[in-house]
Amino acid sequence: MSIKGVIEARCPKGCEAFEAEIWSFIHGDKSPELREAVAAKECNLLVCPECQGLFFAEAPYIYFEPAADILAFVFPESFRAEEERWRRKMAEDFISLKKALGGKMPLDTEPELFFGLDDIAALLNAEAYRAEEVEVMEAVAAELGLCLYRVRRGFARRLGIPASLPYAPARKGEVVTRANMIAGLQKLLAANDRLTAYQSYLDGLRASAEQALPPARV
């Protein structure tokens, strides 16, 4: 679940301080409306009760989306000047968070540090775009009778590859191999050549005979 906290907010126009509720922990999988707010750069937007001006809370929050392997510590842009201090703070809070979440957090999840609105919004919007391309691919793969090999999304994001890949086993029950993945990608792109991320991945596989398959999503 997502969690709110209370801060003493100060309007940048110098109005009297006031108490305000803000999101301190956002679970993107369980709160899609908050995910949209972060992606739209509207999270923790406050209204000054005195002048009615809009401004963002000068307070950090955590964004967690386990399905996408995202754990983001988001600090206000004004905190960037002390990045090393906040990076240490993130490391400390991450230890506490792992204890609190227990088995709900994948063991190899690593936190990411963000300042301001733009970078975390860009990450979520890029993830949404990649998810749409995967959805199209999986629909085409189903029509072609291809199998799917799903990759850890965090790993896929870091390498810039799709999080779901098609493969074409030569016989029933054959596990995924580099050869049958190339065959699956070729069939996919013959049916839909607009899936550019898949063309790029196929080109990479063809270019390097030693390129291993990415780790599968558990």
Residue 108 is predicted with a pLDDT of: 63
Write down the pLDDT at residue 16: 96
Provide the whole-model pTM. Answer: 0.84
Contact indicator for 168, 187 with CB cutoff of 8 Å: yes
Q: What is the pLDDT along the chain (218 residues), one digit of tens a residue?
A: 899 999 999 999 999 999 999 999 999 999 999 999 999 999 999 999 999 999 999 999 999 998 888 999 999 999 999 999 999 999 998 888 878 776 666 656 789 999 999 999 999 999 999 999 999 999 999 999 999 999 988 889 988 999 999 999 989 889 999 999 999 999 999 999 999 999 999 999 998 877 788 888 87
- Cβ neighbours, 10 Å, residue 36: 14
Residues 6+ apart with CB under 8 A from 31: 1, 2
Contact of 70 with 77, CB cutoff 8 Å: no
Domain ranges in the chain are 3-116, 129-207
- pLDDT at position 105 is 64
- Residue 109: per-residue pLDDT: 73
Query: What is residue 40's three-state secondary structure?
Result: coil
